[in-house]
Amino acid sequence: MKVLYVDDEDSSIELFKDVFSDEFDVITARSGREALQYFARGRGEEIAVVVTDQYMPEMTGIELLEEILITHPDPVRIILSAYSDEKIILDAINRGKIYQYIVKPWQINTVRFILKQALGHFQLIQNNNTLLHELAQKNRSLVAVNAELREAISRLYDSEERARALLDAPQDASLLLDTQGTILACNKTAEQLFAKNEKLAGNNLFTLLPPNLTAAWRQQVSQCIQSRQPVFFHDERTDSYFENSIFPIMNFRKEVIQLAIYGKDISVRHQFETALKESEEQFRQIAENIKDVLWIRDIRQDKMVYISPSYETIWQKPRASLYADPKSWLAAVHPDDRAKMTALQEKNPKQGWETDYRIILPDSSIRWLRTRAFPIHEQNGEVYRLTGIVEDITEHKITSEKLQETEKRYQAVYDTSVYGICINEQYVREDGNMARRIVNCNETYARLAGRSREELIAQPDIRELYQPGHDAYGDQQEQEDGAYPACSGSYSWHRPDGRENHMECQGITTTIGDRTINYCIHRDVTRLKKFEEQVTHLSKRVNQVAEEERKRIARDLHDEFGQSLLTLRYSIEAIRDALPDEAGDLRVKVNKVNGLIERLGETVQNISSKLRPDMLDHLGLLPTIEWSLNEFMVHHPAIETSLKINGVWKPITPDIEIVLFRVFQEALNNIAKHANPKSVKVLLTFSHPNVILTVSDDGAGFRTTKTFDPPTADDQGIGLYGMQERTASVGGTLTIRSRPGRGTLLRAELPVS
């Protein structure tokens, strides 16, 4: 007996052959058509079991089994599939008449056990067919002698000849015993069963039985003799299972004089029944441990065949009520849904159905349910049962309604927002370049662009409508919580009406499958931009005036205080030199006053340098930075400092020099007060047409924000806000990157002129 395995994947075929070829005679086919050729060439009688995959080219597994069922109904049919869809399983049962449905990935021991059961089932079918054929032949021969046989039986009622006639008729093991257990006669099947070379007649049956069965047989024989009634029982042996019958043979005085015994080997049937019980137990375990309600209804008798325990959880009613009245569940259905559900009960069962409805529980709460019903067919195609699944979808329904409400609110905001809202997608064009196209946008966005929504959505790359050099998505940063990358930027539309505009964009970027989507809000900042330009111009003028005032104050301090202090110092020294030698104490006091005047002069000089370094006007930026860095090293000897110049030195206009120096000065001031670093690096880079100042440290660092706060009264320097204002006033940019514990990098980029 062969096992035919059908699968379109070579790896699956090789695995099946490797695992089971040692135990079973496995042949394979790589398609349904190839499998059918085995049967077309007359080799179908060799095949006992057909195992097939469901989804294959040209022909599915169910279609293959339907074809085989027409010409060769005996082979046992099994489907292996990675899909457990209910419709496929029902089609496999109803159309393919399968023996078993196995879900991939399959377990070797499970498949081995099922194959053994299937082979046993096939052998049982063959045995039954053979028995039916032989019985048909015997029936035909017995018809002719039926009258004579009846007469013979009546004449030989008390004779052993009648028992012999009965012994030879069946194909099962048959024996004729006396009341002590001695075998008087038997058929060939009985002789083969006990594997005796000599005749069994004359032997005692109890000595031939396995020792563990002797006592049970004696008891059954004794019961038959005492009751003078037939006795039926089973016995299980090492490798077989028997169904036994003992009939008393009585004389005319109704005394038991002999016993007729029939033994039938039902091992295959027993295995099948055991497997069926295990399958039913598995079904019960599944049905009783899922939250959904599983039900089976006999439509001919209009009764419930099975209802899973979840019915009591959902309906809060005992299952017994539904078994007693199959339509009692309708009483709990919501009045608005009852007519629909009643109509479904009367619907043609061949179609099945799926629908949602509500029930009202005893506590007056309402639950939403989804039911699906499927027809089950007999071999002749008639529907005799309905099976279905009921799922509690209340939470899903509530979530769905909340989602719909959220979508409505979102749409209201989307449609009425004073800001432009758009959804765009990044993609690769045919030329290999990245582009952005609009997926959707609101009317405000279209109005800001000066175009219709349809025109914007049809645009292959929305950036082609920006003014040259603009990109709304130039700055993207990963959010600290790791949710979505945020994007922000500014741009100007190239409007058909030529109107000047400035836009600001903020949004998030997310990935859906292999698509990169941006959700963005756009704001018209044209008026704000013009205001900022006015503020920048005013700030530049304020800084210029402040620097001129600093320069004047520094010059006055140097010229007036410096000269006066120098004259005072010389006068004090002249007085000291004029004192007589015996005025030693007075000379000491004069020297102290002279020292105070000298320190006062140094203080005035330091204040003058901070207000406006004299060497910045006479020597330029680089010497001033070197001098200031040396002064920093004198006051902070534990901090390692370095200065590096990149690029070719280019002349820098005074207004740019003073901004760069003030930014450098404030950066050193902040490092000294807050950073506590081990090293400070200063880099001055000339990159036409700009000059870039970079100051970095490895100190404490801080958490940065997109905007800088104005300085407070406690700040002694110009602060980050002041640095940003200064750089912006001359057309430059200031960037600060810092994280707590990872230092700070300040980068100021300004035009050289």
According to CATH, the superfamily of the domain at 290-398 is PAS domain (3.30.450.20)
pLDDT at residue 468 in the model: 73
- For residue 630, what are the contacts with CB-CB under 8 A and spacing of at least 6? none
Query: E strand or H helix at 585, and its extent?
Result: helix 584-611
Please, how many CA atoms are within 13 Å of residue 552, restricted to the half-sphere of its CB?
6
pLDDT at residue 522 in the model: 92
Query: How many Å separate Cα 285 from the centre of its chain?
Result: 27
Please, how many CA atoms are within 13 Å of residue 656, restricted to the half-sphere of its CB?
19
Please, how many CA atoms are within 13 Å of residue 389, restricted to the half-sphere of its CB?
12
pLDDT bracket for residue 560 (50, 70, 90): low
| Both tokens assigned to 325 | 């009245």
Query: DSSP label at 434?
Result: E
Q: Is the pLDDT of residue 411 over 80?
A: yes
How is domain 614-753 classified at the architecture level of CATH? 2-Layer Sandwich (3.30)
Q: What is the pLDDT of residues 3-42, one digit of tens each?
A: 888 998 888 888 888 888 888 888 998 988 888 888 888 7
pLDDT at residue 55 in the model: 84
Instruction: Name the fold adopted by 417-524.
Output: Beta-Lactamase (3.30.450)
Q: Mean per-residue pLDDT for 606-618?
A: 64
Long-range contacts, 493-496 (Cβ 8 Å, 24+): 493/448, 493/449, 493/450, 493/465, 493/466, 493/467, 494/465, 494/466, 494/467, 495/449, 495/450, 496/450, 496/451
Instruction: Name the fold adopted by 2-130.
Output: Rossmann fold (3.40.50)
- For residue 678, what are the contacts with CB-CB under 8 A and spacing of at least 6? 639, 640, 698, 699
What CATH number does domain 156-270 carry, 3.30.450.20, 3.90.180.10, 1.10.4190.10, 3.30.1490.20? 3.30.450.20
Please, how many CA atoms are within 13 Å of residue 730, restricted to the half-sphere of its CB?
26
pLDDT bracket for residue 156 (50, 70, 90): very low
Lowest mean pLDDT among 246-250, 343-347, 435-439, 476-480: 476-480
Q: pTM of the entire structure?
A: 0.39
pLDDT at residue 220 in the model: 92
* Percentage with pLDDT > 90 across the chain: 20
- Helix/strand/coil for 465: helix
Q: What is the pLDDT of residues 500-527, one digit of tens each?
A: 788 889 988 888 888 899 999 999 888 8
Q: Is the pLDDT of residue 559 over 60?
A: no
Max mean pLDDT among 173-177, 328-332, 492-496, 731-735 falls in 328-332
DSSP-assigned letters across all residues of 210-233? -HHHHHHHHHHHHHHHHH-S-EEE
What are the extents of the domains in the chain?
2-130, 156-270, 290-398, 417-524, 525-612, 614-753
Lowest mean pLDDT among 56-60, 351-355, 568-572, 667-671: 568-572
Count other Cβ atoms within 10 Å, centred on residue 386: 19
CA 413/CA 596 separation, integer angstroms: 72
| Both tokens assigned to 286 | 């599944």
Q: Is the pLDDT of residue 482 over 50?
A: no
Q: Is the pLDDT of residue 56 over 60?
A: yes
CA 21/CA 15 separation, integer angstroms: 10
Q: Is the pLDDT of residue 94 over 80?
A: no
Please, how many CA atoms are within 13 Å of residue 463, restricted to the half-sphere of its CB?
16
pLDDT bracket for residue 483 (50, 70, 90): very low
- For residue 251, what are the contacts with CB-CB under 8 A and spacing of at least 6? 158, 257
CA 516/CA 367 separation, integer angstroms: 40
pLDDT bracket for residue 599 (50, 70, 90): confident
Farthest CA pair distance, the chain: 179
Count other Cβ atoms within 10 Å, centred on residue 499: 9
Higher model confidence: residue 241 or residue 335? 335
Q: Are 703 and 737 in contact (CB under 8 A)?
A: no
Higher model confidence: residue 413 or residue 662? 413
Cis peptide leading into residue 105 (ω within 30°): yes
CA 119/CA 513 separation, integer angstroms: 48
pLDDT bracket for residue 469 (50, 70, 90): low
| Both tokens assigned to 573 | 């020294």
pLDDT at residue 694 in the model: 94
Do 156-270 and 290-398 agree at the fold level? yes
CA distances from 515 to 456, 518, 521 (A): 20, 10, 20
pLDDT at residue 158 in the model: 45
Closest CA to 553 of 615, 502, 484, 604: 604
Query: E strand or H helix at 353, and its extent?
Result: strand 353-360
